C-alpha cells in the first residue's frame, strides 16, 4: 500500500456547478437567448422563409425543407433542455428527475452540412442555422459540465500510513 487512499471529498466542501449555474443570471440570459431564437426561427419559417422557399428551384426547395427541419429539431432540443434546467432552478424538478428527462430529450450531435447545400439557402436561414449550431454547442458543453458535476476522488494520505512514516523517519527505519 502506498500510504494514500482514494476518498471522495465531503459533498459539503464542493460547489455543484449545475445547481449554481441554473440559478445564475448567466443561465437566465442563455434561456432568453435560446427561447428568442426559437421564436425568431418560427416566425421566419412561417413567414418570410416560406415565401423565399417558393422562389427557389425544386432542388433548392428540398434543401430548404431539409435544413429547416434540422434547424427546428435542433431548436426544440435546445428549448427542451432549457426548460428542464429552468424547472430544476425553480424547484419544479429535482436534478435526478432532470436526468430522467434527459433520456427522453437527447442533445444530438449536430450533423455536418454540405457547403454546396448551405450556400444556396436564403441568408436568414443560413444565419439561423449558424447561430443555432453555436448555441447548441454551448448547451452540449454546459450539459456535460452539469451531468459530470459529481464528487471527484482525491488522494488523501491515510492517517495510519502517515504515523508509520513518522515512526520510520524518527527511528531511521526503511520501508
* pLDDT tens per residue across span 56-85: 999 989 999 999 999 999 999 999 999 999
38/100 same-domain check: yes
100/29 same-domain check: yes
In whole angstroms, give the CA distance from residue 162 to residue 175: 13
In whole angstroms, give the CA distance from residue 144 to residue 20: 15
73/142 same-domain check: yes
User: 25-46 vs 58-89: helix axis angle to the nearest 10?
Assistant: 150
43/73 same-domain check: yes
90/124 same-domain check: yes
Q: How many domains does the chain have?
A: 2
82/125 same-domain check: yes
74/101 same-domain check: yes
Q: Which residue has the higher pLDDT, 15 or 55?
A: 55
Q: How many CB atoms lie within 10 A of CB 87?
A: 16
- pLDDT score, position 14: 52
Q: What is the pTM of this model?
A: 0.71
Full domain range(s) for residue 2:
1-14+152-175
110/175 same-domain check: no
Determine what percent of the chain is predicted with pLDDT higher than 70.
77
Please report, for the domain that includes residue 103, its CATH number: 1.10.8.930
Amino acid at each position: 500500500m502506498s500510504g494514500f487512499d482514494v476518498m471522495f471529498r465531503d459533498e459539503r466542501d464542493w460547489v455543484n456547478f449545475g445547481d449554481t449555474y441554473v440559478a445564475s443570471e448567466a443561465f437566465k440570459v442563455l434561456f432568453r437567448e435560446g427561447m428568442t431564437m426559437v421564436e425568431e426561427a418560427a416566425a421566419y419559417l412561417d413567414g418570410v422563409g416560406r415565401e423565399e422557399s417558393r422562389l427557389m428551384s425544386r432542388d433548392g426547395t428540398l434543401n430548404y425543407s431539409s435544413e429547416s427541419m434540422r434547424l427546428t429539431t435542433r431548436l426544440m432540443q435546445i428549448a427542451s433542455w432549457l426548460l428542464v434546467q429552468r424547472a430544476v432552478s425553480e424547484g419544479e424538478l429535482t436534478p435526478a428527475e432532470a436526468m430522467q428527462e434527459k433520456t427522453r430529450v437527447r442533445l444530438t450531435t449536430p450533423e455536418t452540412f454540405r457547403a454546396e447545400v448551405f450556400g444556396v439557402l436564403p441568408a436568414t436561414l443560413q444565419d439561423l442555422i449558424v447561430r443555432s449550431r453555436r448555441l447548441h454547442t454551448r448547451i452540449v458543453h454546459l450539459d456535460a459540465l452539469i451531468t459530470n458535476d459529481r464528487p471527484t476522488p482525491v488522494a488523501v494520505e491515510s492517517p495510519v500510513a502517515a504515523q508509520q512514516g513518522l515512526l520510520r523517519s524518527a527511528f531511521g527505519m526503511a520501508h
